[in-house]
Chain A
């Protein structure tokens, strides 16, 4: 210990002794007693509440058990099925397809639609016999008129479109209920049309309405549509930088088809067997020689093109209302979001360490973690109540990311002795819906970083 260290140690001990000496111990003891009394009262109250809750839970379980034990009768039989694996479809999937649709004529396939139907209907379909089983990833759908064209932004956007058609007295929706297929949220419903809505079901292409099926699909009077609107992405739309159309699985059949109830049950069975594999994680490789690294991007950033600064030291992925496809002003309510990586110039401002001292910044969490390559990363979660310019340092050309007021930022300072640091961060609107999992995704992205070319 050098001279300064010895003096500091002595000064701290003396200061602490003085603070201790000024304590009124009896008064402090009374306060502690009062705190412990309160804790014991709370504990007794909690015990009562838990006991009561347990009694209620047991009673409910008994009731539910009685109901589950009751015999369950399927109203309609399910047809024999054949396993099907999509080829070249935009959302790869496997499912058990009912044999009345699966063969022997193969389905019409494309990257955004697959169509099966009654075998006899491929050539000559008797009135009332038409039944088509369709899997569609529509890009657009049409409303009451051809000029009413909607670029489908999301599953919810598509459901809103159907509701608007019902409000216009063109459709009647019934049996609307939520479901989950292959881990993906979905809404199941039945639709009957009072008038034809060309292109109302959705079109595989993105151009104008094309009444020639199988490009565009329409609601037709005299038919019933049994439809599942599946959110093909597990994350909500506002986490994405481009449109995320839903996956539609549907039966469109003549209302008078005598097999209609069986067909509906077959579609429900198909839905229960759908499997959608997770897409492989896209890896970003920096093309800069200043900070060569690769990382697996957070899911939302995979749909956004990176912007690389001329210095080669700063790369960002950003979603703002302007860059997302918004079908209406209401869609602009989604939060902006930015993910970035920067190798700041100079010895570095010790970004994570110095953040607590910046005005307008509150640190709500800090920890360090060992990465691969024996590098360590210092993580912090920061809430900014004011704009904090150059909070994370600057690149060689003077580009300095700002922590914007009203945002939460997760930042990681990745350091290795003798090498320039790499600062990785992600900012989002504080408290915005759908942002709960972002910090975990960010941490996974940082953990995936590999340095070198």
Chain B
């Protein structure tokens, strides 16, 4: 059960295990949503988030407060998703598309609303562009924060965001 410390910040149960479990119940779903935007399926997203909680438990002694734990989890999920996606992109290089079972353009166009189209367009972006867009428009991070999280320069963040926006714009115009 969460209480409140003298500073007004929510406090956590005493043992690391109880504290991690508490945070888990508050943030697990949201973090799966975040991971799901970066990797392509919910199963992988859940694994990434479970890994993040495991890592949080291992690092508990180095964290100062609950806010730090949540920030740690956000970042851990982003990093885990990136690793997962990176690995998958390598595996995909060897995939041979099965023309017989691939859906036709017509079938893809059926019942698709604008949101689906946008999300699909986002998933089709190059990995780095997609990461920048998710961090910018889902986590509302600033360019400086994105640069720090991804370990790239501000200029690179701008460049990736610009190219991604351009691609999404074109795709949405074509769809319309």
Contacts and interface: CB of A to CB of B under 8 A. Distances in A.
Interface of A: 4-5, 7-17, 19-23, 25, 28-29, 31-33, 35-36, 39, 350, 353-354, 356-357, 359-363, 366-368, 376, 378, 385-386, 415, 417
A5 B118 CA distance: 11
B42 interface: yes
B56 to A, nearest CB: 10
B17 interface: yes
Contacts of A28: 24, 28, 46, 50
B137 A357 contact: no
* Top 7 closest pairs, chain A to chain B, by CB: A16-B33, A359-B93, A19-B36, A20-B29, A376-B153, A20-B33, A9-B137
Nearest to A350: B159
A35 B156 contact: no
A35 B54 contact: yes
A39 B127 contact: no
Given A20-B29, A368-B153, A12 B122 contact: yes
B69 interface: no
Contacts of B119: 11-12, 15
Contacts of B67: none
Contacts of B57: 36, 39
Interface string B19-45: 011001100111011101100001001
Grouping DSSP codes into helix (H, G, I), strand (E, B) and loop, the B interface class, with mixed when no group exceeds half, is helix
A24 B147 CA distance: 34
Contact of A8 (B20, B30, B133): B133
Q: Which of A36, A350, A362 has the most CB of B within 10 A?
A: A36
A120 to B, nearest CB: 70
Given A11-B114, A23-B32, 9 more contacts: A4-B165, A16-B33, A16-B138, A23-B46, A32-B54, A356-B126, A356-B127, A376-B153, A415-B155
A354 B126 contact: yes
A390 B87 CA distance: 22
B152 A368 contact: yes
A7 B53 CA distance: 31
Nearest to B34: A16
Interface in B129-176: 133-134, 137-138, 147, 150-153, 155-156, 159-160, 165, 168-169, 172
Given A19-B36, A363-B86, A29 B24 contact: yes
A32 B160 contact: no
B115 A14 contact: yes
B84 interface: no
B17 A13 contact: no
A11 B134 CA distance: 11
B90 interface: yes
A245 B137 CA distance: 60
10 contacts: A8-B118, A14-B115, A15-B115, A16-B138, A19-B33, A19-B36, A29-B28, A35-B54, A36-B54, A356-B128
Interface string B84-114: 0011011001000000000000000000001
A11 B28 CA distance: 20
Contacts of B87: 362
